Structure 1
């Protein structure tokens, strides 16, 4: 679970800043499940350059709650969460400073979308939130206000999760479940899982992936896995201490993610893999395959260029699907292109996607 946040401050000397606005979106990896947005009375003057940048002035904050009045709510919404922010060191430092003033030791793990973007969305001219979002087609409103910047960070983090094919983010931030009895543990692990189509990942105590599965109903598929009685299955059940999952929206993306991630992660207890790779050509060398997305109004897109599967993405913006260069900035690139081609070719032999754009 993640708490994606943005904080606006008064500016001023290091560790003497006060919070003027905070927005937090609790995010389960697919959707926002809770949110908290408020102006804050910092009980100190705001630097003039900050007023000009954010539009927040002292008169707007006279009747806003002071930090000690919202401190409990922030603790509750971020409990058991990894904090995610664009320049997370800053936001986390500001929060810790406020709690230190109250005599409370506030501790959370953090992830920084600046650092993650540099790794997973390389070769951008700037990694400032506004310029990065503009270059990859993420709409922004209320720039330099906490809610606008936090919402943009939610969309950016969704893209980063999609592009994190080796699952280092999930493995590093996954919550570990500690239970004495395997049956009780597995029941607890099943409860929060969705009933939608997707790929799921079983993690051991360290966070490493030990098994990857897929299906039309993630919860049902995991339940079946936990009911199996073979020696191998019992080992999986014993070692599984947390589960993460990703919705896929359609069968083609499910198969693509499943088999590609088997090759990347090589989980100890998986047996399935593609044995024979195709040498056939696509009917057209340059195509975009458009199909259902994970939620209403979203599409999945697979980019095929020069008879090669370049990558895939999810988008709810039609112009992203039709502009090749823009599409290339948001796709999750595929390393094993021969395997990806085999998966896509085998699917298209017997099934259809919503739309094929040839170029």
Structure 2
């Protein structure tokens, strides 16, 4: 038995929006045998643009039952049945959230008619409910109302499970609904264009993976210690917003690059995101880091943190401790270090004055700005701040597991600057840092990369660290 469902809502995010209408058509595998529908009072105003789309207004739902008043009926109507919908994760996620708010765990097997349509009627220009119904001559009345869309989905479902398909010898026969639907239920969480066989063929090793749209464009880059497991997690998570559903529905292909270990996968993922700037990657997209945090010692012996343009460094000739995207980010970074390590705003170029800094006036600075605190005491805290943003060693190589047996990965940092990574034979012998430098592909150093390497080294890691003094 199948419960074919459609809902209307106050918006696209289950975490904050509510259901305004639900319709359920029961199909026994042969025909529609029952139906149920009701408006629902969402107990909040319905946005104007939603009313324009659905026609459902605050006035219409004013006297409608609240969700908890119809929850029992929904449970009884769907119990023991497969939850069917067009883009099933949208409807299923909303209903799960409504029940969760009542302290009830709603769980049903699911089936997506978008996936089923793509499988049984390939090659259509669009699989949206409206265009799909038009393509296969299904009369769709009351579009964007739950009762209309649910009835159209039920008619679509009925057509799909009765499609005649060719078998190996060229003859035709009625599709076996039980076997076909059993397969679709197992794969209902996958993006419509992704087949189970593609996911099953993915490696369980560390690497970087790419999601492509139907045009072949890369729309997302990710990394994992176990590529297949991470991608399955992507597909299994509950829908959070319309954007996340659109993202999932755009995935038409998956490719990957094996990296051998998590560190190299992290480094390569960061570089690829900056190079490609995929639409659905928001973190680490910035590729230009023009501002640096620098340290120097003034005439009075105080170590001073400051910020300036990388390569120009505002007349300070030195290598930056860390590179950031702009002066605004750099000032925020220094303010954080001042607060955490009790440093002086004036000696960090954050407060311009000829006398004491503002923090000294409110008893939050020990007075290095006016010579009251000795350079030795103040510099110890500056060194602690520097240690938090620099590597333990100045020049070193991290040697880890390679992509295959007999191979090793090497990550090279020279004079505090990340140079890149590469792969070498397990018998590779190096006498100097230059030998390792000749074995790597060069990549840009930046704040994201530095955080990746520092964080990795501070945790439990299996890489061998070779230090060059």
Shorter chain as normaliser: what TM range?
0.3 to 0.5
The higher radius of gyration belongs to: 2
Give the TM-score normalised by structure 2.
0.36
Question: Which one has more relative contact order, counting CA pairs under 8 Å at least 6 apart?
Answer: 1
